[in-house]
Structure 1
Amino acid sequence: MSPWEVFAVKYADRNARTRADSFIFDDNHDAPHAMDYFMWLLRAGTRTILVDTGYDDAEAAARNRPIRLDPAAALAPFGLTPDDITDIIVTHLHYDHAGGLALFPNAHLHLQAAEMAYATGPCMCHDTLRMPFTASHVCEAVQRLYSGKLTFYDGSADIAEGVSVHCIGGHSRGLQCVRVHTQAGWMVLASDAAHFYENLQARKPFPIVVDLQNMLDGFDRLERLASHPSLIIPGHDPLVRQYFPQDLADHIHRLDAGPTQDVTL
């Protein structure tokens, strides 16, 4: 099995946040706590898989959450255009992970069935649960389904040799992480199963949650899936850019060789 190259691609950040926005249980809740927004690119030979899509300028304006790079432009240092992307693993359908689906018209989507059921079901009658979703993004996923460009999974499944998805839930009903065979061992892109290293290492849940038990159980699952805890990559932690080397451009960090320093908080 050939190892995959794995890249974190930062397209946005948000600094006007506090620790109360990141942790349910935290005594220092008023302290600043910044967040980065990433997509991830997997590459092995001629095969490329994009994990999540970020969100575009229209969504940024609608939510007043500016982006630094259009997600399609963020991939330019790889020599890729949006039309080159043929496979996208959608970890979940929240706006910041599926908000750029329409930018990649040729892509086949890989999604948990539980996530589509959640995003189109009775839970969306509640404003609090609906808040991280945008209807047009969900509709884009439905359109891919009807055009034969979406595959559903129920739990764990192989996407390619050395790449698998695993349903975690918790933050969103069908949230899935991605396990990748790399030169450093089995790496796990946690996405929002662990927004920050501290969520995982201190077992502190993130406040946006549909099933708290699944979120807490998911921390254990992430650790079982990875060859080493340092190979679990949180979905939004600025520390990723400190622990892993820059590659190709300022906004791209290469992950597959492992961290360059201890990731224990």
Structure 2
Amino acid sequence: MVTIDLLLGGIPGRTDEGYLGQSSVALLDGETIVDTGSLARRPMLVDALETAGVDPADVSDVLLTHLHFDHVDNVDLFSNATVHVYDPELERAENGGFDWATPRSVAGLLDGRDVVRFTEGEVLDGIEAVHTPGHVEHHVSFIVEDGMTYGLTGDAVKNVREFETRNPFTIYDDGIGRETLDALAERLDFVVPGHDVPFYVTESGGAAPCGDVDLTVRLQLGADSETHVGIRSDRSDVRALPDGVREVGSKQSFE
């Protein structure tokens, strides 16, 4: 049975001061990382790996859905891993086709690394890459078939709301993004989205989430002022995670 450790949960959110950029990071079978998260979450990622009993140096492979900062920043943490990048997406960055979310330092992140450029199909044993355009043109999702069909979708499926409304946040093309969501809904049983809790795909093509988003923001507004703002969704249809999937990430302490 496939094992999926959810090291970092995705957070769906935008503010009037920018995007939160808190993406999910998953560990497959104890040795393969799907996306690496942003630098802001690096301490949490290190703690989650320790909880999972995994030394970053022992991770064999890193699979990237696309090259946005919140998905690639921590590639260097996995110093011995082979880094797998979708060939057209890497070519885009190499040719200077940057959008606002692609770090200009991405070449440096990959310089000197064992990089494998892949196309659609089997990337590693039992892990299939599928082109899922919309959020960006050269986005891929990773699919595992093992009793049920699991999708680690990155930002092809950012969150539950976008999946259910078929109204994706895209840089490239909204229409193609909706087609991608329809295609994934047809194929997948379970989704680890880029920026939300994981969920089951229902028979109607909707979503049954496994948990709630839980976020606390600390604002230090002055020498004698500190404000905590807690945000938590209130869902009545929460389901248990499937066998083989577990949450191992922890919250960052304000102490």
Same fold, TM exceeding 0.5?
yes
Q: Are 1:153 and 2:118 an aligned pair? A: yes
Q: Which residue of 1 aligns with 2:173?
A: 211
Gaps of 5+ in 1: 23-33, 61-66, 253-265
> For the structure 1 residues 113 and 215, does the alpha-carbon distance in structure 2 shift closer, same or farther, using more than 3 Å as the test?
same
8 Å contact kept, 1:171–1:210: yes
Provide closer, same or farther for how the CA distance between residues 16 and 190 of structure 1 changes in structure 2, counting only shifts above 3 A: closer
Mapping 1:74-153, distance limit 5 Å: 74-124=48-98, 129=99, 131-144=100-113, 149-153=114-118
Query: What's the secondary structure of 1:50's corresponding residue?
Result: strand
Map 1:38-53 to 2 at 5 A: 38-43=24-29, 48-53=31-36
Tell me the distance in 1 between the aligned counterparts of 2:80 and 2:177. Answer: 33
The counterpart of 2:165, out of the listed 202, 219, 222, is: 202
Change (3 A) 1:134 1:240: farther
Does residue 183 of structure 2 align to residue 221 of structure 1?
A: yes
- How far residue 122 of structure 1 moved from its aligned partner, in angstroms, is 4.5
Runs of 5+ unmatched residues, structure 2: 198-208, 213-238
Question: After TM superposition, what 4+ stretches of structure 1 lie above 6 angstroms from structure 2?
Answer: none
Structure 1 position 241 matched with structure 2 position 211:
yes
Q: Give the TM-score taking structure 1 as reference length.
A: 0.69
Using the TM superposition, name which of 187-196 and 169-178 deviates more: 169-178
Cα deviation per residue 1:215-257 (whole Å; 9 max; x = unaligned)? 122112212331x3xx1232111455344559474539xxxxx
Name whichever structure is richer in helix by fraction: 1
The one-character-per-residue Cα deviations of 1:24-43 (angstroms, maximum 9, x if unpaired) are xxxxxxxxxx8853101111
CA contact (8 A) 2:129 2:143 kept: yes
- Number of residue pairs aligned between Structure 1 and Structure 2: 210
Give the structure with the higher percent strand: 2
Secondary structure of 1:102's match? helix
Deviation by residue 1:112-164 (Cα, 9 ceiling, x = unmatched): 1111122233432xxxx2x21212234222432xxxx111122x221233211
Alignment of 1:163-182 (within 5 A): 163-182=127-146
Equivalence for 2:4: 6
- Report the CA distance shift for 1:118/1:40 in structure 2 as closer, same or farther (over 3 A): same
Name the % identity.
22
3-state SS in 2 of match to 1:143: coil
